[in-house]
């Protein structure tokens, strides 16, 4: 049984590669991790190592040919593939293999049956799942969470575990189907790219293996007894090689050999029922609603290409209106206020009056920056459990933004200033108003003297103020005295808005939702695309005393503080 060598993932944005040179040829013996060929992509030139030891039986992609990631490049066997074709020694056309088979005709039959049972224990022993390359400069990763446990069955491309690196946090899918037999790297352990993470096998072959072992005990006679009706057929036509090959076909050995084939699913082999499908094509099929089992592949070895998926997606398009009409219409949620007239509450009148007065008395505009909070998100995830156990408070992103904003206010106090006639007043402290959404309307309780407060203090005071605001238990002075406001519009999923500055303050910072999306990062002087976490920060300010350059400097300081994510000394636990 042969193993397929596929073009591995060589980077998140790399979808194809060109074979520049084969380092081995058909018939050469190779060892595991020995260089097989050289591949060139638009991001990297590298050698592709052999995933197994054996003999190169076939090269499927020639030099200068370009193929997609996941395409089968070659097939490697254990050397038994050639003798297997010489089961009929009379067939002289098998050239060099024929004399080798004829040298010991009496021992050839046992020798051929031996490799087949040997394949079963190999499958039951499992194949290793290794940490793949996750970027050009990423050399190691930390296991953050196992999504499967020992004994669980997994399918091809089903997520196995989550990995965290300094560039990306991602799931590692299973490269083949089978049963998770062993976890080799525990959670929170860090390993290098290429290290074995787990072992996946078939599970069944371990029990099936003893059956072939019993066969050699009576190989000469039972082999003939297993197919008495077919024995005369080779005698009637001894010359053709097909007749002897049909005799072993109904024997139990092929069944045990075929069981490991799905488990080996690193790539499609000649015995696979379903060709290999790249993650890109599988994701496209999911997006298009295409059943891959119903698609006929036109790629190498019947591999399904993205063009095949797109073509299959066009067929059901015509019937889509009929299937869409079948489900019952989803009834929208209708508020009881629809079609009514309600008087403004006292709080709503106050907010309306203050908003209009602020807009008429000030010259307001908004500046927005995008902040990469990937490191901050990883730091928060790493400490939030310990933080909660020691403080009793959840560690959201808001305390981090508050600490960064207060430090920037101390550096650029104009953002914290107020207007008094023709004078600019610079307060001696930073009193941070926190916008809280309640059933009665928007209220802004104040964290007093916020300069120097750590994350634990901010988390405690914000949680306390928000709870008492919603329960209408605030004291009047807890709503007064704010010099700068934070409004977390991202808590409801908004990317950003242009918040209104309420007098007498001169600025308000809107915090958008933290979202993951592709981003360009520079690694070793080269640009690469990685999954990053981003947030938009929108600063609205009174242009009477704050210029755009002042706003940009303030936002730049907040951005630098958050992207550095150096908050270990600010935890307060």
Question: Could you tell me the residue ranges of all domains in the chain?
Answer: 277-319, 346-570
- Confidence band of 126 (pLDDT split at 50, 70, 90): confident
- What H or E segment, with its residue span, contains residue 117? helix 115-125
> What is d(CA 220, CA 224) in angstroms, rounded to the nearest whole number?
7
Q: Which tops the pLDDT comparison, 159 or 499?
A: 499
- Known catalytic residues are 543, 547
pLDDT mean over 269-280: 52
Asked whether residue 232 carries a pLDDT value surpassing 90, the answer given is: no
Percentages of the chain per state (helix, strand, coil), in multiples of 5? 35, 25, 40
3-class secondary-structure state, position 444: coil
Nearest to 451, CA basis, from 429, 468, 435: 429
Nearest to 540, CA basis, from 555, 527, 523: 555
Provide the pLDDT for residue 13: 61
Q: Which tops the pLDDT comparison, 44 or 497?
A: 497
**Strand runs labelled E in 279-387:** 364-372
Provide the pLDDT for residue 270: 37
CA gyration radius, the chain: 34
- Confidence band of 89 (pLDDT split at 50, 70, 90): very low
> What is d(CA 200, CA 56) in angstroms, rounded to the nearest whole number?
24
Q: Are 38 and 23 in contact (CB under 8 A)?
A: yes
Asked whether residue 310 carries a pLDDT value surpassing 50, the answer given is: yes
Residue 275 has a CB neighbour count (10 Å cut-off) of 19
Asked whether residue 511 carries a pLDDT value surpassing 70, the answer given is: yes
Residue 248 has a CB neighbour count (10 Å cut-off) of 20
User: How large is the angle between the packed helices 279-288 and 306-314, nearest 10 degrees?
Assistant: 10
The token pair that represents 139 in the structure block: 């050399």
pLDDT mean over 538-546: 98
The token pair that represents 218 in the structure block: 């009576």
Provide the pLDDT for residue 474: 82
Share of the chain above pLDDT 90, in %: 39
The region, left, alpha or beta by phi > 0 then psi within -120 to 50, assigned to residue 77 is beta
Asked whether residue 243 carries a pLDDT value surpassing 50, the answer given is: no
pLDDT mean over 481-487: 97
Provide the pLDDT for residue 300: 54
pLDDT per position as a tens digit, 363-373? 999 999 999 99
Q: Where are the alpha helices (DSSP H) in 337-432?
A: 346-361, 374-391, 398-411
* Residue linked to tokens 């953002």: 415
> What is d(CA 290, CA 300) in angstroms, rounded to the nearest whole number?
20
Residues 6+ apart with CB under 8 A from 52: 3, 32, 76
Give the CA diameter of the chain: 115
The token pair that represents 38 in the structure block: 């050289």
- Confidence band of 149 (pLDDT split at 50, 70, 90): very high
Q: Are 481 and 446 in contact (CB under 8 A)?
A: yes
pLDDT per position as a tens digit, 38-80? 887 765 667 888 888 889 989 999 988 888 888 889 888 876 6
> What is d(CA 163, CA 143) in angstroms, rounded to the nearest whole number?
5
Provide the pLDDT for residue 194: 84
The token pair that represents 66 in the structure block: 């370009």
421 burial type by CB count under 10 A (0-12 exposed, 13-18 middle, 19+ buried): exposed
* Residue linked to tokens 């072993």: 248
> What is d(CA 509, CA 367) in angstroms, rounded to the nearest whole number?
10
State how beta strands 432-434 and 484-487 pair.
parallel
- What H or E segment, with its residue span, contains residue 27? none
> What is d(CA 513, CA 76) in angstroms, rounded to the nearest whole number?
50
Residue 119 has a CB neighbour count (10 Å cut-off) of 23
* Residue linked to tokens 């395409």: 71
Q: Are 164 and 142 in contact (CB under 8 A)?
A: yes
For 277-319, the fitting CATH number among 4.10.320.10, 3.10.450.50, 3.30.465.10, 3.40.50.300 is 4.10.320.10
The token pair that represents 57 in the structure block: 């039986």
Q: Which tops the pLDDT comparison, 16 or 14?
A: 16
- Range in 215-229, 432-446, 496-510, 527-541 with the lowest mean pLDDT: 215-229
Look up the CATH number of domain 346-570: 3.30.559.10
Provide the pLDDT for residue 100: 37
Q: What rounded mean pLDDT belongs to the chain? A: 78
pLDDT per position as a tens digit, 58-69? 999 998 888 888
- Confidence band of 164 (pLDDT split at 50, 70, 90): confident
Q: Which tops the pLDDT comparison, 429 or 195?
A: 429
Provide the pLDDT for residue 135: 61
CA contacts within 13 A on the Cβ side of 215: 24
pLDDT per position as a tens digit, 381-415? 999 999 999 999 999 999 999 999 999 999 999 99
Nearest to 6, CA basis, from 267, 260, 231, 224: 267
* Distance, C-alpha 423 to centroid of its chain: 55
Q: Write out 101-145 in H/E/C secondary structure.
A: HHHCHHHHHHHHHCHHHHHHHHHHHCEEEECCCCCCCCCEEEEEE
């Amino acid at each position: 049984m042969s193993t397929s060598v596929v073009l591995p993932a060589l980077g998140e944005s790399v979808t194809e590669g060109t074979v520049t040179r084969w380092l081995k040829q058909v018939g050469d013996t190779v060892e595991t991790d020995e260089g097989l060929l050289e591949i060139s992509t638009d991001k990297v030139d590298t050698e592709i190592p052999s995933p197994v030891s054996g003999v190169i039986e076939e090269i499927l992609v020639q030099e200068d040919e370009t193929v997609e990631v996941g395409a089968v490049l070659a097939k490697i066997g254990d050397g038994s593939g050639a003798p297997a074709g010489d089961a009929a020694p009379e067939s002289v056309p098998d050239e060099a293999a024929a004399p080798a088979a004829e040298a010991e005709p009496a021992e050839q039959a046992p020798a051929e049956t031996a490799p087949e049972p040997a394949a079963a224990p190999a499958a039951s022993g499992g194949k290793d799942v290794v940490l793949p390359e996750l970027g050009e400069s990423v050399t190691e990763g930390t296991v953050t969470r196992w999504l499967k446990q020992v004994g669980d069955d997994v399918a091809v491309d089903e997520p196995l575990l989550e990995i965290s690196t300094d560039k990306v946090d991602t799931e590692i899918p299973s490269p083949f189907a089978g049963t998770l037999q062993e976890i080799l790297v525990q959670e929170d352990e860090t390993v290098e790219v290429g290290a074995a993470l787990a072992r996946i096998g078939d599970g069944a072959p371990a029990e099936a293996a003893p059956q072939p072992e019993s066969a050699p005990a009576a190989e000469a006679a039972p082999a003939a007894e297993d197919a008495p009706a077919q024995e005369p057929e080779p005698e009637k036509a001894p010359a053709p090689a097909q007749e002897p090959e049909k005799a072993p076909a109904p024997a139990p050995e092929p069944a045990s050999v075929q069981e490991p084939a799905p488990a080996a699913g690193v790539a499609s082999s000649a015995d696979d029922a379903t060709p290999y499908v790249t993650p890109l094509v599988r994701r496209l099929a999911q997006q298009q609603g295409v059943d891959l089992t119903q698609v006929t592949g036109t790629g190498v070895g019947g591999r399904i290409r993205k063009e095949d998926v797109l073509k299959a997606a066009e067929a059901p398009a015509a019937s889509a209106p009929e299937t869409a009409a079948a489900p019952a219409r989803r009834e929208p949620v209708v508020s009881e206020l629809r079609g009514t007239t309600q008087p403004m509450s006292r709080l709503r009148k106050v907010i309306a009056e203050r908003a209009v007065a602020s807009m008429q008395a000030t010259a307001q505009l908004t500046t927005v920056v995008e902040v990469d909070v990937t490191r901050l998100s990883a730091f928060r995830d790493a400490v939030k459990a310990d933080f909660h156990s020691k403080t009793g408070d959840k560690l959201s992103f808001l305390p981090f933004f508050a600490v960064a904003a207060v430090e920037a206010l101390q550096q650029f106090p104009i953002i914290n200033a107020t207007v008094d006639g023709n004078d600019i007043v610079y307060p001696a402290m930073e009193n941070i108003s926190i916008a809280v959404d309640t059933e009665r309307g928007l209220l802004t309780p104040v964290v007093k003297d916020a300069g120097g407060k750590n994350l634990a203090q901010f988390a405690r005071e914000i949680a306390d103020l928000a709870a008492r605001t919603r329960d209408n238990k605030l004291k009047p002075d807890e709503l007064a005295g704010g010099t700068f406001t934070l409004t977390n519009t991202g808590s409801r999923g908004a990317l950003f808005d242009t918040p209104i500055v309420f007098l007498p303050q001169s600025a308000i910072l809107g915090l958008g939702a933290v979202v993951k999306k592709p981003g360009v990062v520079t690694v070793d002087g080269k640009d690469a695309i990685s999954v990053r976490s981003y947030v938009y920060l929108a600063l609205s300010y009174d242009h009477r005393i704050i210029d755009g350059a002042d706003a940009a400097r303030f936002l730049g300081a907040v951005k630098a503080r958050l992207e550095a994510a150096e908050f270990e000394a600010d935890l307060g636990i």
